[in-house]
Structure 1
């Protein structure tokens, strides 16, 4: 590629147009990034950065080739990539997909913690409610240069948004992690520990047949980190303890939870404990149980995984939970991002938080 670029140095615009046309034919056309410019011009990404910032001398031939690539790719350098005279926007973004009913109390704890920490560190927080499948929207906003960095939530085990942010060379941290997070700065709950702790708790109470209520099957299929890790941990812990475990799914809505109750009872009539990672549906399920004369925890114990204090206290009885401090998680993710923006090495920015089991009243000894 570099040799080809050198041969075309006398006419860099022609070289760029030929290479850009080949990319279009290969189906790789997208919103251009600094990495695209570097690849098209046959140079390193740092060389493109030096041309943009003027921090190092670059030969006229190379500079012209890079500028021609930028023009033909319609690349607009963002504020981070330019680094002109230390210019900054003072804005960081929190990418947090909206659920079917908006944000619940637990999700709001993350947003509040991130917002408070950003403000304390001298930044404004911009909320981007983009889902994992809306990668083009993420590309558009990032390439406009509105933000200095990003905190990404609801991370999938294989997440295209993470790949894009790495390629775009924009500082970011994640609340959650991919299957292979070694290149990431992240903060996450240890959902493997959450699932194991929840199973061990109900096992100590004598429950031998349990269920796990996850969000819809789409989340499981997509590899939503918290749901997949918790489900796998529940099944593994149940097998180890000789407990029979069932997995159920429901959309994260009150009506879906109401409808799920009858399905759960019909599928597993001997079930006496339910672990859940589906806050809205659990409210509907508990209402349906009360309607049918099932008392909690006398007839059915419930453990909420990853529920905030506010969410756990919304029901009567209040829900026993296995959870971290969501506000603290979000604060730490923002702190890591700010430290990245200040030029610190992020290789050690990896924190896995062990949750806490809090008994409140929704679990009891298994019925005899």
Structure 2
């Protein structure tokens, strides 16, 4: 079944059927209904390639994710689900494309073979070659995250530096004088991964401002790495009483390491950070944290991308979200072993 047969049965021209399907020109309500009745009767579905040629659009957007061989964190999966849901609300499909290493061929095919109308980039580095490739292809795109030079790019992001600073201040207000940052993996830091570098910046600045001793711990994105990192920390620095984290995937291991050291959360050791909501609520005790609004970020990214697809000349827009730090039960006043414990040189 094709457009020509629909036109014959509806008693209209082929172009009228095409205009009805694409919405490019006005068709009278009576004619549109006659055509739609035939379509419904025959169960016609337009061929995607033919529709793309007719409309000049694929009605598909690309979502560039980390390499498929690596396990995605729950927060990353929340972003993926949020983008898919937001795209469905505006009748768009989503093509997932991993990037990084050998996977860059998938990214190149998606962009330069016109498989999508626009792209959402995840996991953006401070210096990110993919951004240059998208500009070269004149492909509309939006970032979940942002590079260091972000003025000409549309993006949505979480204020990691500001939120980590709030977490440090919260611990300082509770009397903690020696604290640590559980950051993302050494590999991500070396690659220039934006959230990890901004978390580090916010942590170090806030520690200096509040005259705290701050220790940074790069940590792999898994429970075993979290357990090993915290075990080493508590052995080398038993004076540390508070932890700030942006590494949600390591949290189960953090919990085990603290328990194995004979410490109780929050009586002996306080933990806070920036994580997805379900990680905070599933932690025991529930984690005091800034909950990353993944659904909201994804929906805003999709709205910005749709805007740029419809009008590529739209000025670049930036959305920086700073959710509140929700007080739960994983933080408390510094334990007596830290009472009156000043920072050397402070």
The counterpart of 2:209, out of the listed 233, 240, 253, is: 240
Q: Distance in 1 between matches of 2:70 and 2:236?
A: 27
* Unpaired segments ≥5 residues, structure 1: 1-78
* Unpaired segments ≥5 residues, structure 2: 1-47, 337-346
Kindly report the root-mean-square deviation, in angstroms, between the aligned alpha carbons of the 2 structures. Answer: 1.9
Return closer, same or farther for 1:251/1:100 CA change in 2, 3 Å cut-off: farther
3-state SS, counterpart of residue 198 of structure 1? helix
Determine whether 1:311 maps to 2:279: yes
The counterpart of 1:139, out of the listed 101, 104, 108, is: 108
Q: Distance in 1 between matches of 2:165 and 2:262?
A: 30
> Where do residues 160-179 of structure 1 align in structure 2 (5 Å cutoff)?
160-179=129-148
Deviation at 1:101, TM superposition (A): 5.7
> Where do residues 74-89 of structure 1 align in structure 2 (5 Å cutoff)?
85-89=54-58
Q: Which residue of 2 aligns with 1:107?
A: 76
The counterpart of 1:93, out of the listed 62, 66, 86, is: 62
Deviation at 1:195, TM superposition (A): 1.6
Return closer, same or farther for 1:328/1:166 CA change in 2, 3 Å cut-off: same
Q: Distance in 2 between matches of 1:96 and 1:142?
A: 14
Q: Distance in 1 between matches of 2:92 and 2:262?
A: 51
Determine whether 1:359 maps to 2:327: yes
Return closer, same or farther for 1:194/1:100 CA change in 2, 3 Å cut-off: farther
Q: Which residue of 1 aligns with 2:17?
A: none
Deviations 1:88-114 (A, max 9, x none): 211111111158762232222212211
Q: Which residue of 1 aligns with 2:237?
A: 268
Counterpart contact for 2:98–2:104, Cα < 8 Å? no
Aligned length: 286
Deviation at 1:266, TM superposition (A): 2.4
TM-score by length of 2: 0.78
Q: Distance in 2 between matches of 1:133 and 1:352?
A: 32
Counterpart contact for 2:120–2:301, Cα < 8 Å? yes
> Where do residues 1-368 of structure 1 align in structure 2 (5 Å cutoff)?
85-98=54-67, 102-131=71-100, 134-305=103-274, 307-343=275-311, 345-368=313-336
3-state SS, counterpart of residue 173 of structure 1? strand
3-state SS, counterpart of residue 285 of structure 1? helix
Q: Distance in 1 between matches of 2:141 and 2:269?
A: 42
Deviation at 1:291, TM superposition (A): 2.5
Deviation at 1:87, TM superposition (A): 2.3
Q: Distance in 1 between matches of 2:214 and 2:281?
A: 26
